[in-house]
């Protein structure tokens, strides 16, 4: 079903190591509004969608969120991999370092591990699509906040691209919600 291309969906560059930004950006890897939660939410919710178009949109966006997760991981790793241990300790990543070194692990910016309670699947397509639209807006907001925190033009470029994809996903979910409403409000004769 999926084809894996051995390249990031969007190139990741950083100007210099920045463990402070890595600590903040990691929330989009394993935080409540991050890419892992989004991907799992959409790829789970697709099963109870009533029309093929909705199933397709949730599959497409859920798959793209996996690619975004890879971009965020590359960004965090590049920001921390060459950072001196003194900088890692100075920004409060010493506990993370003790458990994971510079490896990636699903946590939010405060260091709390990812949890399945971040996602929901109600089985009602209207409810789930509204949740999906809200999730995209929360992710968009988070990317905007991360852009505000960064002074690295390369990091900002990646974060802007990811933010724009959240806007596109929000729009696609809105279109899908309209299709689902049309389907649910139409007369079904079998």
The answer to whether the beta carbons of residues 34 and 28 sit under 8 Å apart is yes
Domain count along the chain:
1
Q: What is the mean pLDDT of residues 119-142?
A: 97
Residue range 164-174: average pLDDT?
98
Q: How far apart are CA 70 and CA 7, in angstroms?
A: 10
| Domain-embedded: residue 29 | yes
Q: How confident is the model at residue 187 (pLDDT cuts 50, 70, 90)?
A: confident
Task: Go through the chain and tell me how many residues it has.
Answer: 190
Bridge partners of 113? 107
Domain that holds residue 85: 19-114+121-185
Residue 3 lies in a domain: no
The residues, any chain, with a CB within 8 Å of residue 153's CB and separated by 6 or more, are 15
pLDDT at 135: 97
The answer to the question of residue 5 being in a domain is no
We report the CATH number of the domain holding residue 128 as: 1.20.1260.10
| pTM for this predicted structure | 0.94
Is there a domain that residue 32 lies in? yes
pLDDT > 70: percent of the chain: 98
Longest dimension (CA), the chain: 69
Contact status, residue 133 vs residue 170, Cβ threshold 8 Å: yes
Answer whether residue 13 is part of any domain: no
SS3 content of the chain, % helix, strand, coil (to 5): 65, 0, 30
CA distance 159 to 25: 9
Q: Is the pLDDT of residue 1 over 80?
A: no
Whether 1 is covered by a domain: the verdict is no
């Amino acid at each position: 079903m999926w084809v894996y291309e051995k390249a990031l969906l969007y190139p990741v560059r950083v100007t210099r190591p920045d463990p402070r930004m890595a600590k903040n950006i990691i929330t989009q890897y394993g935080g409540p509004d991050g890419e892992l939660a989004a991907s799992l939410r959409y790829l789970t919710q697709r099963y109870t969608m009533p029309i093929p178009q909705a199933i397709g949109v949730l599959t497409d966006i859920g798959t793209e969120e996996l690619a975004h997760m890879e971009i965020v991981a590359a960004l965090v790793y590049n920001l921390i991999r060459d950072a001196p241990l003194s900088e890692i300790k100075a920004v409060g990543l010493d506990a993370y370092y003790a458990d994971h070194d510079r490896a990636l692990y699903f946590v939010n910016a405060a260091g709390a591990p990812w949890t399945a309670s971040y996602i929901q699947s109600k089985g009602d397509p209207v409810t789930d699509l509204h949740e999906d639209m809200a999730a995209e807006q929360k992710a968009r907001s988070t990317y905007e906040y991360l852009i505000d925190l960064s002074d690295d033009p390369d990091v900002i470029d990646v974060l802007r691209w990811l933010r724009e994809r959240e806007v596109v996903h929000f729009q696609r979910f809105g279109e899908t919600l309209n299709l689902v409403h049309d389907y649910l409000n139409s007369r079904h004769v079998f």
